[in-house]
Amino acid sequence: MVRLLKFLTPPPKWKLPVYVLLGIFFGLGCYVLYLSKAASYLSDSPETCVNCHVMAPQYATWNHSSHREVATCNDCHVPHNNVFNKYFFKAKDGLRHASMFALRMESEVIFILDEGKEVVHNNCVRCHSQQLTDPKLAAKVPNHAHNTQDRVCWECHREVPHGRVNSLSSVPNARVPLPESPVPDWLKEYMKETELENE
């Protein structure tokens, strides 16, 4: 360890430029974290999911659904069987989303992947298990358990909660809390003032 530190320590005459360079490097890193609102990804808030504006249709349709009152994005879209799995899945899924978005690989109509489907289906069951295990129906209706449980819920409940198709252009006028300009207000004000002075 000491040797490694020694190996990396710059000679005295290089120290100043190396500090400056490292500062630039970390500063740039912090800027990227600030721009991407990295801290918000630790929360469960649905606003986080519209940090990328391509999620606006999903946010808008959820926001007009009955689930708005009881469930956030994470309640359905990340597993809740244990806390490690939750954050592992969230990190994995989130990094995939972030990379697709940064590389402009998102499709015009976004569909859920198989892995995500399983998670969502399990979460439907997590809250609605009462509706799935009705002993009265199970006893009377032939193949009741089979018919209700061998398929995903939205094979029948197709509009819950996002509606059927959500293209990127399907909700042009929806009010979605998209991130605003990253330039803080005080800076904008200042720029405006100096602009006026120059005129």
Partner 1 sequence: MKPIQESVGKKPMLGWLIFLVTLVVVFLLGLLASSIMERRAESVYAYTPQVEHGQWEPRNEVWGENFPREFESYYNTADTTFRSKYNGGAMIDMLEVDPRLVVLWAGYGFAKDYNQGRGHYYAVEDLRNTLRTGGPVDDKTGPMPSTCWTCKSPDVPRLMNEIGVAEYYAGKWSSKGHEVVNPIGCADCHDSETMNLRISRPYLIEAFERMGKDINDATHQEMRSLVCAQCHVEYYFNKNRVKGSAFVQLPWDKGMGVEEMEEYYDEMEFKDWTHALSKAPMLKAQHPGYEVYLKGIHADRGVSCADCHMPYKSEGGQKFTDHHIQSPLNNVANSCQVCHREETDKLIQNVYTRQDQIIHNRDKLEELLVRAHVEAKKAWDLGATEEEMKPILMGIRHAQWRWDYAAASHGGSFHAPTETGRIITTGVERVQEARIALVRVFHKYGFTGEVPYPDITTKAKAQEFIGLPMDKLNKEKETFKKNLVPEWDKKAKEREATYQVKM
Phi, psi for residue 78 in degrees, rounded to 5 = -125, 150
Tokens in use for 63? 């926001």
- The answer to whether 180 contacts partner 1 (rule: CB under 8 A) is yes
Q: Which of 41, 47, 94, 101 binds partner 1 (CB under 8 A)?
A: 101
121-129 CB contacts, 8 Å cutoff, 24+ apart: 121/152, 121/153, 122/79, 122/81, 123/75, 123/76, 123/77, 123/79, 123/80, 124/76, 124/153, 125/153, 126/80, 127/70, 127/71, 128/153
Which among 67, 51, 49, 45 is positioned nearest to 59, based on CA atoms? 49
Instruction: Give 59 or 89: the residue with its C-beta nearer to partner 1.
Output: 59
Range in contact with partner 1 (rule: CB under 8 A) among 88-96, 110-118, 119-127, 161-169: 161-169
Residue 177 CB, shortest distance to partner 1, in Å, is 10
Q: Which of 105, 181, 185, 199 binds partner 1 (CB under 8 A)?
A: 181
Q: Number of helices (H) and strands (E) in the chain: give both, helices first.
A: 9, 0
Q: Which of 15, 16, 20, 28 binds partner 1 (CB under 8 A)?
A: 28
The residues pairing with 75 across neighbouring beta strands, listed in sequence order, are none
Instruction: Give 37 or 128: the residue with its C-beta nearer to partner 1.
Output: 37
Q: Which of 20, 39, 91, 178 binds partner 1 (CB under 8 A)?
A: 178
- The answer to whether 6 contacts partner 1 (rule: CB under 8 A) is yes
Q: Which of 94, 116, 161, 179 binds partner 1 (CB under 8 A)?
A: 179
Judged by DSSP in three states, 162 sits in coil
Residue span 49-88 as binding mask against partner 1, x where in contact by CB under 8 A, dash where not: ---xx--x--------------------------------
The answer to whether the peptide bond before residue 161 is cis (omega within 30 degrees of 0) is yes
> Where does this chain bind partner 1 (CB under 8 A)?
3-4, 6-11, 14, 21, 24-25, 28-29, 31-32, 35-36, 52-53, 56, 101-102, 163, 165, 167, 169-173, 178-182
